Amino acid sequence: MTKRQRSEKRWNVLLSALTGAIIAILLAPLVHFLHDHSDLTPDEALWNHFLPRMRAFMVGGAIVFGGVAAIRNWLRRRP
């Protein structure tokens, strides 16, 4: 069996964070449509419910993806 070579190329943390934010932007509407909004007016549903949730998803996605890239780079740097 041959030993698998480890990649020495570092992951771009900023690009990973941006990718996480974009994926979160795509997932936030799907999660939003799973809720019942019959008690909210359309403006309330947008400004008080959906946009804060979208911001939270974007920040969360950026932190998770950027954190994974940073940890992977740190682990690969260690001997």
Question: What confidence tens digit (pLDDT) does each residue in 4-55 have?
Answer: 666 678 999 999 999 999 999 999 988 888 877 777 787 777 788 888 889 9
Choose between 58 and 79: higher pLDDT. Answer: 58
Domain edges within the chain: 16-26+43-79
pTM of the shown model: 0.78
pLDDT of residue 1: 57
Choose between 39 and 71: higher pLDDT. Answer: 71
Read off the pLDDT band of 62 (50, 70, 90): very high
CA 44 to mean position of chain CA atoms:
25
The Cβ of residue 57 has, within 10 Å, a number of other Cβ atoms equal to 21
d(C-alpha 56, C-alpha 66), whole Å: 15
The Cβ of residue 26 has, within 10 Å, a number of other Cβ atoms equal to 10
